[in-house]
Amino acid sequence: GITRHYDFDVQMAKVTRLCGSKSIVTVNGQFPGPELVAREGDRVHVRVTNHVSHNMSLHWHGIRQMQTGWADGPAYITQCPIQMGQTYVYKFTITGQRGTLWWHAHISWHRATVYGAIVILPKLGVPYPFAAPHKEVPVIFGEWWAADTEVVMSQALKVGGAPNISDAFTINGLPGPLYNCSAQDTFKLKVTPGKTYLLRLINAALNDELFFSVANHTLTVVEVDAVYVKPFTVKTIVISPGQTTNVLLTAKPVNPKANFYMSAAPYSVIRPGTFDNTTVAGILEYHEDPSSSSSFDKNLPLFKPMLPRFNDTKFVTNFTTKLRSLATTKYPAAVPQTVDKRFFFTIGLGTLPCPKNMTCQGPNGTQFAAAVNNVSLVLPTKALLQSHFTGLTTGVYASDFPAMPLSPFNYTGTPPNNTNVATGTKLLALPFNTSVELVMQDTSVLGIESHPLHLHGFNYFVVGQGFGNYDSAKDPAKFNLVDPVERNTVGVPAGGWVAIRFLADNPGVWFMHCHLEVHTTWGLRMAWLVHDGSKPNQKLLPPPSDMPKC
Ligand code: C2O
């Protein structure tokens, strides 16, 4: 592989959307940010200079970061933020991955405007396991607030309640024709009859899982989270925040002389009104001559896709159970067949007593919180990875994160009287190369919601999922240990559970959290500590000299 150099300058830029302008934090003044392209095996150096008055930190979502945990990016977990005027060069190698991933700010709510695609091409000369597409197009879903997103977040924290819902969804930063003043801000995809296009779908939205469909066309799913899957064809896909999905779209053989909406709208089991139930649309247009500059013809008929109902969990389950690893000799599924350590985590919302001098919007005047095993993680003031590396534990992390919920869990459908969670900053430590099985159970306390759980530094295999309470006597017999999907973010179903397996072969401190930003902020987050192995290639490398300081 070669080394790819990128300069990312974090700077403000003025952007007009939805009838108004505001200054947003960007990389290089671009929104969405620049696309990062590399091949499997390449080294990547991204020199990030912070020119804004906010602290910054960037995360390369889904990149394995073998031995390079210092480049992972979550603020106060693997690094201190890059302060104004400072530069930090993220250096990592892309090992064993090819497909679509993405990068985003990993501090506060800055990822609302600071994000972009990561395109990992196969090694030179290595074809895709499907027919080569005519063109490849990143399609990034986002969420747009008319207000400053930092203000939205701090308001939510101040009242201990839910943040204001976003004002629009976007495709590649564009809200599309269904929103006010936005017809000119519409993503358009020009296709030529008979050609096949690879859409690199990325859900960069903050708080919403999405359905996506293209009117009168089908989508063939070929890869998720930079891992190939057994191809299958659907009309609509489901994508959670943090997830990426590559689909093939084949244009009709003969110019249909029509335009087609490409639409995305949220999947949520909580009632509309408490989330943004609007729809973003892009437009698929046909052009016989791909070089033609002829523009969108609005006199042609326009077709709209039928998206599932906002709470169609059946549809979602049906979609996710279709996802299978390719599991061929060339692309084997390295599912751990034996387990060294089993964990059971509860995932869900809860409450904290309302701090004095605040009026809280949680039940009975409490403050909303969210927790893993009933512990709501409080970010430390020094990065956990640095503390670990220098042997510092006092006042940083005192003891182990509980391997089991603090109180036994049995979901009955009625929330418990006491919904309070504990707070803490603790790591769950694993010896190098531990084979882990983790069952994550949604508690459905204070709202039934699916939680897209993202693990940094690893891919895991989704070996099982179900509804109701996980049954450790019966459910493991149904686990798929042959071709389960391999990914970095999975939706823990609302009122259900998901079982994952991974091999802890990457030393460092690895964040795991719900990728709904509001839940992360409320504390639905924890971190694993994977110790060094004995061989040189099993140790965390020393921190780079330009590592930011707190
Ligand atoms: Cu994409 Cu910890 O995040």
Distances, alpha carbon 460 to alpha carbons 119, 314, 486, in Å: 20, 24, 5
Residue 111 Cβ contacting ligand 1 at under 6 Å: no
**How many angstroms separate the alpha carbon of residue 525 from the centre of ligand 1?**
11
pLDDT tens for 55-76 read 999 999 999 999 999 999 999 9
Whether the CB of 74 sits within 6 Å of ligand 1: yes
Nearest to 63 by CA among 332, 456, 506: 456
Banded pLDDT at 275 (limits 50, 70, 90): confident
Q: Do the Cβ atoms of 353 and 423 come closer than 8 Å?
A: no
pTM as predicted? 0.97
Q: Is the CB of 456 under 6 A from ligand 1?
A: yes
The answer, yes or no, to whether any atom of ligand 1 lies below 6 A from the CB of 497, is no
513 CA closest ligand 1 atom index: 2
Q: Closest ligand 1 atom to the C-alpha of 511?
A: 2
Three-state SS string over 130-143 comes to: CCCCCEEEEEEEEE
> Which residue matches tokens 């940010």?
33
SS3 assignment, position 38? strand
Distance CA 52, CA 107 (A): 14
Q: Regarding predicted confidence, which is higher, 55 or 411? A: 55
Under CATH, which number does the domain 130-325 receive?
Answer: 2.60.40.420
Does the beta carbon of 525 sit less than 6 angstroms from any atom of ligand 1?
A: no
DSSP code of residue 445:
T
Query: Ligand 1 center to residue 51 CA distance, Å?
Result: 23
DSSP 74-93: -BTTTBPPBPTT-EEEEEEE
Rounded to an integer, what distance in angstroms lies between the CA atom of residue 409 and that of residue 132? 49
Residues 6+ away with beta carbon under 8 Å from 163: 152, 153, 155, 156, 207, 518
C-beta separation of 37 from 119 below 8 A: yes
CATH 2.60.40.420 segments of the chain: 1-126, 130-325, 341-538
pLDDT class of 396 with cuts at 50, 70, 90:
low
Q: What is the ipTM of this complex?
A: 0.99
Per-residue confidence (pLDDT) for residue 302, from 0 to 100: 96
Q: Where are the beta strands (DSSP E) in 163-218?
A: 168-171, 188-191, 196-203, 209-214
Quote the pLDDT of residue 450: 87
Atom of ligand 1 nearest to the CA of 241: 1
Mean pLDDT of 497-517: 97
Ligand 1 atom with the smallest distance to the CA of 102 is 1
State in Å: Cα 107 to ligand 1 middle.
Answer: 10
Question: Measured from the CA of 73, which atom of ligand 1 is nearest?
Answer: 2
Query: Which DSSP letter does residue 541 get?
Result: P
Assess whether the C-beta atom of 59 lies below 6 angstroms from ligand 1: yes
Q: Ligand 1 centroid vs 109 CA: distance in angstroms?
A: 11
**Nearest ligand 1 atom, CA 61:** 1
pLDDT computed for residue 399 by the predictor: 66
Would the pLDDT of 97 be above 80? yes
C-alpha–C-alpha distance, residues 391 and 22, integer Å:
44
* Least reliable range by pLDDT among 154-158, 324-328, 357-361: 154-158
Nearest CA to ligand 1 atom 3: 61
Using a 6 Å cutoff on CB, does residue 104 contact ligand 1? yes
- Whole-angstrom Cα distance, residue 164 to residue 143? 12
CATH number of 341-538: 2.60.40.420
Mean pLDDT confidence for 148-177: 87
What is residue 407's predicted lDDT score, i.e. its pLDDT?
73
- Mean pLDDT, the chain, rounded, equals 93
Task: Give burial (CB, 10 Å; 0-12/13-18/19+) of 400.
Answer: exposed
Nearest-CA neighbor of 279 among 426, 175, 362?
175
Residue 59, CB-side half-sphere exposure with 13 Å CA sphere: 27
- Is 64 a pocket residue for ligand 1 (Cβ < 6 Å)? no
Single-letter residue type at 127: P
Check if 61 has its Cβ closer than 6 Å to any atom of ligand 1: yes
- pLDDT surpassing 80 at residue 346: yes
Q: Is pLDDT at 81 greater than 70 in this prediction?
A: yes
Q: b/e for 432-441, b at 16 or more Cβ within 10 A?
A: bebbbbbbbb
Q: Is the CB of 454 under 6 A from ligand 1?
A: yes
Mean pLDDT of 420-426: 91
Confidence of residue 154 (pLDDT cuts 50, 70, 90): confident
The residues, ordered by sequence, that sit 6+ positions from 187 with a Cβ below 8 Å of its Cβ are 139, 171, 172, 174, 176, 262, 282, 283
Could you check whether the bond before residue 32 is cis, i.e. omega within 30 degrees of 0?
yes
End-to-end CA distance of the chain: 34
What is the four-CA torsion angle of 336, 338, 342, 345, rounded to 10 degrees? Answer: 30
The type of residue at 527 is A
Highest CATH level, class, for 1-126: mainly beta
The answer to whether the CB of 17 is under 6 A from ligand 1 is: no
**409-415 long-range Cβ contacts below 8 angstroms, 24+ apart:** 409/346, 409/441, 409/443, 409/469, 410/469, 411/441, 411/443, 411/444, 411/468, 411/469, 411/495, 413/444, 415/444, 415/445, 415/446
| Cβ contact 320:491 at 8 Å | yes
For residues 527 and 383, give the distance between their C-alpha atoms in angstroms, rounded to a whole number: 12
In the block, tokens 């390719």 appear at: 326
Name the nearest CA neighbour of 345 among 302, 299, 401, 307.
Answer: 401
Question: Which pLDDT score is estimated for 253?
Answer: 97
The three-class DSSP label of residue 69 is helix
Please count the CA atoms within 13 angstroms of the CA of 467 that sit on its side-chain side.
9
